[in-house]
Amino acid sequence: MSLGFASPRHRLAFVGVLATLAVVGMSWDRADARAAKHSQPRAIHGPDYRPPYAAIVVDDNSGEVLHEDSADEPRHPASLTKIMTLYLLFEQLEAGNLKLDTPLPISAYAASQHPTKLGLKADQTIRVEDAIKGLVTKSANDAAVVVSEAIGGSEEEFAKLMTGKAQALGMASTVYVNASGLPADEQITTARDQALLGRAIQQRFPVYYRYFSTPSFRYRNVEMHNHNGLLAKVEGCDGIKTGYTEASGYNLVSSVRRNARHIVAVVLGGTSNAKRDARMRELIEANIFRASNQQTAPMIAAVAEETSARAAAVAPPALLSARAAAPEAAPSGILAPTLASAKTEQVKTDQMQMTATPLPTPRPQIQAKKLQGSKTTAAAKLRVRRAQPAATGSPTLSASALPQPREIGRGWGNAN
């Protein structure tokens, strides 16, 4: 229709309609642009990202350190934290306070944890075995909190148990404040401490340690694959755990067995998954042939392990409501084929641990940094470290100062 035959009043109204449509169209365009922007994955860090690097390789048979780089410098563990979470859970399984099919209650707080997560719903339950597999494959933060609340009553109380166990194992430079590894300024560790924990958990719990080699896990019809890219790709690799936050960088603890040789290696502060894994491969291949093929080092025994075992035999109050009333069922999945022999092996291991020589007093440089259980002291030491130049890392991974406390507390960083 031509506007030439329309009255001035009609022409004015028509122009007004066109203007309104134009404004609405512009608003839609801006809304679409915002939606597209938010739908795209946001880059967390840029090309200059340089988290502080540290590494160590330990011969498990002899206890000899085959390689170390900044191994005693404070670092954030990220989801390597879940190794200790599982250590305490395995204690309760071994003591009989929990079973693999025990349903653990899910609180609103646990369900609200940031990704990565299983998507647990408040007021429901999750089986212990599903929680274990969710921790080792998906690195689920909600499952970690469920475990912490079941054993400790709250995540805060559970973190105290974690720190106490770390100190008993000889991890003198480690403090835990949560069960997942989500960003926390006061949650620190060292590469040496993580190697010690990586050795201890498999010596102490050879049956349950096998869960760390779980390649994938299906939960509520969702298939999840293990974040550890070295499983099934590096000869002899049998675990154990990855971790990442913006503050920590890309972390990995690996265990490798070849021809009776066994090493545990730690890389902290990788700039990407690929570079971290590449560095770990280099360390494994450069040191595995140097490891001893005979067991000469004493088993890693926690100080007063016998007392700890007796304490674990009594279920914490938080577990009383979670224990299953049904008869014990045979373990499913990876544990079933070796149950009988594994129980015998565990008894022998326990006997050795009860009589094993406690770990020697940490070397002077570690002793000087002993945290005395104080979170305030831990944070202060981190600030001192940030003010000092960091040691040079590997050719592929360089070191830099730790992020400031205000950055570490932010929500970016999935602890996965």
Q: Give the per-residue pLDDT at 341.
A: 42
Task: Verify whether residue 62 is a known catalytic residue.
Answer: no
What confidence category does residue 79 fall into, taking pLDDT thresholds of 50, 70 and 90? very high
Q: What tens digit of pLDDT does each residue of 213-250 get?
A: 999 999 999 999 999 999 989 999 999 999 999 999 99
Catalytic member of 70, 79, 148, 254: 79
Q: Of 82, 99, 117, 165, which one is the catalytic site residue?
A: 82
Q: How confident is the model at residue 408 (pLDDT cuts 50, 70, 90)?
A: very low
79 is catalytic: yes
Question: pTM of the predicted model, to two decimals?
Answer: 0.73
pLDDT recorded at residue 303: 59
What's the rounded mean pLDDT across residues 81-107?
A: 98
Higher-pLDDT residue of 97 and 328 is 97
> Considering the chain, what is the average pLDDT of its residues?
77
- The 10s digit of each residue's pLDDT in 122-144 is 999 999 999 999 999 999 999 99
Residue 46: the pLDDT is: 83
**pLDDT for residue 15:** 52
Task: Determine contact, residues 92/151, Cβ cutoff 8 Å.
Answer: yes
Residue with more model confidence, 45 or 41: 45
Is 82 assigned a catalytic role? yes
Token digits for 332? 């499913």
393-411 core/surface letters (b: 16 or more CB in 10 A; e: else):
bbeebbbbebbeeeebeee
pLDDT in tens, 188-223: 999 999 999 999 999 999 999 999 999 999 999 999
> Domains in the chain, please, with CATH?
54-408 (3.40.710.10)
- Write the secondary structure of the chain as one string of H (helix), E (strand) and C (coil): CCHHHCCHHHHHHHHHHHHHHHHHHHHHHHHHHHHHHHHCCCCCCCCCCCCCCEEEEEECCCCCEEEEECCCCCECCHHHHHHHHHHHHHHHHHHCCCCCCCEEECCHHHHCCCCCCCCCCCCCEEEHHHHHHHHHHHCCHHHHHHHHHHHHCCHHHHHHHHHHHHHHHCCCCCECCCCCCCCCCCCEECHHHHHHHHHHHHHHCHHHHHHHHCCEEEECCEEEECCCCCCCCCCCEEEEEEEEECCCEEEEEEEEEECCEEEEEEEEEECCHHHHHHHHHHHHHHHHHHCCCCCCCCCCCCCCHHHHHHHHCCCCHHHHCCCCCCCCCCCCHHHHHHHHHHHHHHHHHHHHHHHCCCCCCCCHHHHCCCCCCCHHHHHHHHHHHHHCCCCCCCCCCCCCCCCCHHHHCCCCCCCC
Catalytic residue among 99, 107, 138, 139: 139
Average pLDDT score over residue span 135-155:
98
